[in-house]
Amino acid sequence: MVTTLLSDDAPQFKQIAHHHALCWIHDGRNYKKLRPIVPYHKEKLEAFLDRYWDYYGKLCEFKIKPDAEVAEQLSAEFDQLFTTITGYEQLDERISKTKEKKEHLLKVLLLPEVPLHNNAAELAARAKVRKRDVSLQTITEEGTKANDTFMTIVQTAKKLSVSAYQYIWDRVSNKFEMPSLAQIIREKSSLS
């Protein structure tokens, strides 16, 4: 069973894990959807977003150096920030919706090892989606497996700062001069 899950708050992810954390970047995108026309509302949104991302920065600092007293302060600061009334109705509604997610957005205060966002996972998946959009689809199951294997090698090599072209050439030519991606992963994880 998955004990901790970080998601974008899609309903299908609820009740899957014992600990469910929410992505701050996804929550922040909801504020970007607000498109105020009235200058006063624009100012209120900009001022609130400055405070929002400053608070996010404090959470990032907490992850580096967790402390129970700081966790209590951050929890209280969350309550203060997300009870803000600006007079801009749509912003106030959005702030209230974020406040309702406090337990999941602040999971990091309980489990500092949990990331504050899941953008890395999303970006990795996006490469596959872009490839699918361009290629439409594969015709056979073998083609699908080959495509998935190739995309996995390319994306893994990219994350490890290895030239995918050189790695694939090394394997196809049967030279095996480069270490395997699995070996590189093991070496990097042992350094952490």
pLDDT tens figures, 90-147:
999 999 999 999 998 999 899 888 888 875 555 555 565 566 655 656 778 888 788 8
Local structure of 66: helix, strand or coil? coil
pLDDT digits (tens, 9 = 90+) for 146-190: 888 888 888 889 889 999 999 999 999 999 999 999 999 988 887
Question: What is the pLDDT at residue 95?
Answer: 97
Question: What is the pLDDT at residue 33?
Answer: 94
pLDDT digits (tens, 9 = 90+) for 54-100: 999 999 999 999 999 999 999 999 999 999 999 999 999 999 999 99
* Confidence class for position 5, pLDDT limits 50, 70, 90: low
Cα torsion angle, 30, 91, 71, 104, sign: negative
In this predicted model, which residue has the larger pLDDT, 150 or 12?
A: 150
Provide the 10 A C-beta neighbour count for residue 45: 21
- Angle value at C-alpha 44, between 41 and 47, nearest 5 degrees: 150
Instruction: Judge residue 94's burial from the number of C-beta atoms within 10 Å of its C-beta, 0-12 exposed, 13-18 middle, 19 or more buried.
Output: buried
What contacts 184, CB < 8 A, 6 or more positions away?
160, 162
Question: What is the pLDDT at residue 126?
Answer: 57
